[in-house]
Amino acid sequence: MSSSAEARPLVAVVMAGGAGTRFWPLSRCCRPKQLLPFAGGRSLLAAAVERLAPLVPPERTLVVTSALVADAVREELAGLPRENVLAEPAGRDTAACVGWVAWRLARSSPGSVMIVVPADHVIPDGAALRSALAAAAATAVARGGLVTVGLRAARPETGFGYLELGEAAGGAGGHEVFAVRRFVEKPDRARAEAFVAAGNFRWNSGMFAWTVAAIEAAIRAHLPDLAAALDAMAADAAALGEAEALARHYPQLPRVSVDFGVMEKASPVWAVTADLSWSDVGSWLGLAELLPEQPAGVTMGDVVALDSERCVLVSDGPLVAALGVRDLVVVATRDAVLVVPSDQVQRVKELVEALRARGRDELL
């Protein structure tokens, strides 16, 4: 309890591995959601890195992404040292991603405190976020164990996971800290309402803090197969170079999320609580939370709409000219145009699969 976060180097780890098809045709295998210009013309990823910068400078910010998009990410993040963009040869979910970075830091900077955040969230108030993350890092140092950021459950969302809070554990930097009693997967509406009413539930933000030693110990305890593979990869990296080691081991790492594989099993786990406006822009309809409302709904890019309402109209290429449409999503790019009613946007992956089945890989 004697050391402080300030005394140990903070390292930010931005997880930018997601591919996904929910933003097709704007998102592609080579341009995933986090690279789309959803943050006022900038990418969500660039916004995430810039938001952290006053707390963690670029030289201590690591971005983990897919090898497929690493060059695009380096281009997007021109202010970041190129070597700070870490390219996964294959996506193996977040436990592998976090473990890889922790094992690397255990060699290069074992006293570090890791702050882990997703690349594709929208958080308008950067100062509030940094305050919460600084408190999480301080808690990770002061109390040991793993720390998550629990956000005020402002409404009964069924699209988020929840944390049930246990005993209060004091505060950090103006934030209340609690022991986490349990993690809850996305609930149905009735349970979500009960969580909000109960008061001791928070949204699981997917943002974490821990010391390198703590996460390494937790992975060794709860994901021993992953730990063994990371040990082998580290040994090969020392002997053969990291590229060769990654190619040998990374695609075989166990595929499990850090929430399910580590957080839900570890103890102690602390929640630093915060009240942040926060969105994960899960589908085209989520754009409505980011962009000012137009008479036709939400529009982005070259769009002309007459007598249209409650639509999402996006162009990254040809003009979208809409007339007399309602509750419709239209997304046009140079080579593909999506047209789907608003209440069926979650089915976009069916279209993507149909294109894959037709061999239209150039559009994916």
Measured distance CA(175)–CA(172) in Å, rounded: 5
Tokens encoding 98: 């976090």
Write out the two tokens for 241: 């170079």
CB of 22 vs a copy of itself, minimal distance in Å: 13
Q: How far is the CB of 62 from a copy of itself (least distance, A)?
A: 36
Question: Is residue 324 a contact residue for a copy of itself (CB under 8 A)?
Answer: yes
Indicate the residue among 139 and 315 with the shorter CB distance to a copy of itself.
315
Number of residues that bind a copy of itself (CB under 8 A): 35
Torsion of CA 14, 19, 23, 25, to 10 degrees: 130
Pattern of binders to a copy of itself over 12-51, x per CB under 8 A? -------------x--------------------------
Query: Which of 9, 125, 317, 364 is close enough to bind a copy of itself by CB under 8 A?
Result: 317
User: Does 318 participate in binding a copy of itself (rule CB under 8 A)?
Assistant: yes
163 makes contact with a copy of itself (CB under 8 A): no
Provide, rounded to whole angstroms, the least separation between the CB of residue 324 and a copy of itself: 4
Residue whose CB is less far from a copy of itself, 41 or 324: 324
- Interacting residues with a copy of itself between 274 and 313 (CB under 8 A): 304, 306
275-292 b/e with 16+ CB inside 10 Å = b? ebebebbbbbbbbbebee
State the Cα angle at 187 between 182 and 190, rounded to 5°: 115
With respect to a copy of itself, which residue has the nearer C-beta, 205 or 333? Answer: 333
Instruction: Give CA separation, 21 vs 56, 183, 207, 279, 356, in Å.
Output: 31, 27, 23, 18, 12
In whole angstroms, the minimum distance from the beta carbon of 120 to a copy of itself comes to 23
Residue range at the interface with a copy of itself (CB under 8 A); choices 43-51, 221-229, 260-268, 315-323: 315-323
**Residue 8 near residue 140, CB atoms below 8 Å:** no
Only one of the segments 63-71, 75-83, 251-259, 334-342 lies at the binding site for a copy of itself (rule: CB under 8 A); that segment is 334-342
What are the structure tokens assigned to 12, written together?
A: 């930010």
Task: Find the shortest distance in angstroms from Cβ 30 to a copy of itself.
Answer: 17
With beta carbons less than 8 A apart as the criterion, state whether 2 and 50 touch.
no
Please identify, using beta-carbon distances, which residue of 293 and 307 lies nearer to a copy of itself. Answer: 307
Q: Pick the piece of the chain touching a copy of itself (CB under 8 A) from 66-74, 106-114, 121-129, 327-335.
A: 327-335
Helix (H, G, I), strand (E, B) or coil at 136: helix
Contact residues for 355 (Cβ-Cβ < 8 A; gap 6+):
363, 364
Kindly report the backbone phi and psi dihedral angles of residue 199, in degrees, each rounded to the nearest multiple of 5, phi listed first: 90, -25
Structure tokens, 290: 């980011």
For 238-299, give the secondary structure using H, E and C. HHHCHHHHHHHHHHHCCCCCHHHHHHCCCCCEEEEEECCCCECCCCHHHHHHCCCCECCEEE
Point out which residues bind a copy of itself (CB under 8 A): 25, 304, 306, 315, 317-325, 328, 330, 332-341, 344, 347-348, 350-351, 354-355, 358, 360, 363
